[in-house]
């Protein structure tokens, strides 16, 4: 076989460097996880070579007998996990999944209700700089100033006033359980369709530690690489009523050829998520988040909404140190080997580029096998990094402690 003989030394070096970074640091970005070797093997499989525009049994290219089985397996497995009647596993991302839903249900200019980005929503929930906000008339609902929970009275008032065709719920930076039922009631009252974006919590739902929105929503979208721990990608679940429109909107509406290697990897992840081990994993994610939130509160940080019910927390840095911005916090933690992202807190006086908060998630460290005692240590390391932020030597010593903490838990030690 005349394969190229080139060894790409640069990419090999960079891959080794990234493995080293992931193995030796704390990965606390709430939307990240470590995919299993089986998921990564499928992602790197021969399915990357195959064109398969269309759907199983209805392809525009030949040679899809095997690929059809792969895609059917992925669809069946995820339908089983959520109790859904139809799945589209082709979206390349969560953003694509959401845009396909909009295309399936709406005409440009139609009104939609979505959670404001600065209160924990997503770009594709109508941000003016995103195609969703440019194409459709999004009206944003937010959190109550008192307890920083989704303001259902506001949702109802806005729904009755604007009569949206679609109501979107779900979040990227909301630490509390989202009950889909009151959204269903409001949607029914005004004749709207209900979309639940479960990107962050799909693994928690499947693991049984968050209520399943498919019980009441018309459509559920999610990514497969967050708490669900699969390959990067998206997925749409829908009732039969919207199935044909959704499929048409994904292909040919939004995408061309599906990435069947990613779909094979999604199928593997869905099988992994059906196990008792995964249920225990999901429960541990939540227990770890609660332990980390409590420990951070003891250090003097303020938890938005007072804590967390899920895999993430939003931390208001100001009570700990009024001068410390989210931007600076993210940078100095990076130096200490602690990776997370700055995040606006509700009604943040600072810009989204600077922020007064950080977002912290426990899916990745939980995959590594860390438990509540390690969360206490992680909170100590975060607080100590901030206290030492003007002292390079002290930051270097925290970096060493992070390395020591992570050593027995390296996700990719081979
Ligand atoms: N950017 C993702 C997150 O970090 O939450 C959402 O798309």
* Span from the CA of 391 to the centroid of ligand 1 (angstroms): 32
Residues of the chain above pLDDT 70, percent: 100
Rounded distance, CA 249 to CA 60, Å?
16
Residue 274 alpha carbon to ligand 1 centre in Å = 24
Active site residue 197: yes
Q: Which one is catalytic: 116, 149, 232, 401?
A: 232
Residues paired with residue 193 on neighbouring β-strands, in sequence order: 166
DSSP state of 136: S
Residue 55 annotated among the catalytic residues of the structure: no
Task: Tell whether the model's pLDDT for residue 125 goes beyond 90.
Answer: yes
The predicted pLDDT at position 359 comes to 98
Within 10 angstroms of residue 387's Cβ, the number of other Cβ atoms is 15
pLDDT band at 1 (very low <50, low <70, confident <90, very high): confident
Place of tokens 């499929």: 247
> CB atoms < 10 A from the CB of 57, how many?
9
Q: Whose CA is nearest to atom 3 of ligand 1?
A: 31
| pLDDT at residue 414, as a whole number | 75
End-to-end CA distance of the chain: 28
Whole-angstrom Cα distance, residue 356 to residue 408?
A: 33
Quick one: which atom of ligand 1 is closest to the CA of 93?
A: 7
Name all domains of the chain by residue range, CATH numbers in brackets.
40-273 (3.40.640.10), 279-406 (3.90.1150.10)
pLDDT band at 322 (very low <50, low <70, confident <90, very high): very high
Give the pLDDT confidence of 103-116 residue by residue, as tens digits: 999 999 999 999 99
Out of 53, 72, 156, 294, pick the active-site residue.
Answer: 53
pLDDT at 206 over 90: yes
Does the beta carbon of 361 sit less than 6 angstroms from any atom of ligand 1? Answer: no
Residue 150 contacts residue 143 (beta carbons within 8 Å): yes
In this structure, what token pair is assigned to residue 322? 């009024």
- The predicted model gives 377-392 an average pLDDT of 97
Q: Which of 27, 28, 31 to mutate to test the pocket of ligand 1 (most atoms within 8 A of CB)?
A: 31
Summarised one tens digit per residue, pLDDT across range 235-289 is: 999 999 999 999 999 999 999 999 999 999 999 999 999 999 999 999 999 999 9
Q: Rounded to 5 degrees, what are φ and ψ at 324?
A: -80, 120
> Is the CB–ligand 1 distance for residue 31 below 6 Å?
yes
User: Is the peptide bond between 158 and the residue preceding it cis, with omega within 30 degrees of 0?
Assistant: no
Residue range 55-72: mean pLDDT, rounded: 98
Q: Is pLDDT at 2 greater than 90 in this prediction?
A: no
147 flagged as catalytic: no
């Amino acid at each position: 076989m005349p394969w190229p003989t080139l060894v790409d030394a640069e990419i090999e070096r960079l891959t080794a460097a990234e493995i080293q970074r992931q193995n030796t640091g704390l990965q606390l970005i709430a939307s990240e996880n470590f995919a299993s070797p089986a998921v990564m093997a499928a992602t790197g499989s021969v399915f990357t070579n195959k064109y398969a525009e269309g759907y199983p049994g209805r392809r525009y290219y030949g040679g899809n007998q095997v690929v059809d089985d792969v895609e059917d397996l992925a669809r069946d497995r995820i339908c089983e996990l959520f109790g859904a009647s139809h799945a589209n596993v082709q979206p390349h991302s969560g953003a694509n999944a959401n845009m396909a839903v909009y295309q399936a249900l709406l005409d440009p200019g139609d009104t939609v209700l979505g959670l404001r980005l600065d209160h924990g929503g997503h770009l594709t929930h109508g941000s003016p700089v995103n195609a969703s906000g440019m194409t459709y008339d999004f009206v944003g609902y937010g959190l109550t100033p008192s307890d920083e929970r989704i303001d259902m009275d506001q949702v109802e008032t806005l729904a009755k006033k604007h009569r949206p065709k679609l109501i979107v719920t779900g979040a990227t930076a909301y630490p509390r359980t989202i009950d889909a039922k009151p959204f269903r009631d409001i949607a029914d009252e005004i004749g709207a369709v209900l979309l639940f974006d479960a990107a962050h919590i799909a693994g928690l739902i499947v693991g049984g530690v968050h209520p399943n929105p498919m019980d009441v929503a018309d459509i559920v979208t999610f990514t497969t690489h967050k708490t669900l721990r699969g390959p990067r990608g998206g997925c749409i679940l829908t009732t039969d009523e919207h199935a044909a429109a959704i499929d048409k909107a994904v292909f040919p509406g939004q995408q061309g050829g599906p990435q069947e290697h990613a779909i094979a990897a999604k199928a593997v992840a869905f099988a992994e998520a059906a196990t008792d081990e995964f249920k225990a994993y999901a429960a541990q994610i939540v227990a770890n988040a609660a332990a980390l939130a409590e420990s951070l509160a003891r250090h003097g940080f303020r938890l938005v909404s007072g804590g967390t019910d899920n895999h993430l927390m939003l931390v208001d840095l100001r009570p700990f140190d009024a001068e410390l911005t989210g931007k600076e916090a993210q940078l100095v933690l990076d130096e200490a080997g602690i990776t997370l992202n700055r995040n606006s807190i509700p009604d943040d006086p600072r810009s989204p580029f600077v922020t007064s908060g950080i977002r912290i998630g426990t899916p990745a460290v939980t995959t590594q096998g860390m438990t509540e005692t390690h969360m206490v240590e992680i909170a100590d390391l975060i607080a100590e990094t901030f206290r030492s932020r003007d002292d390079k030597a002290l930051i270097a010593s925290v970096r060493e402690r992070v390395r020591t903490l992570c050593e027995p838990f390296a996700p990719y030690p081979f």
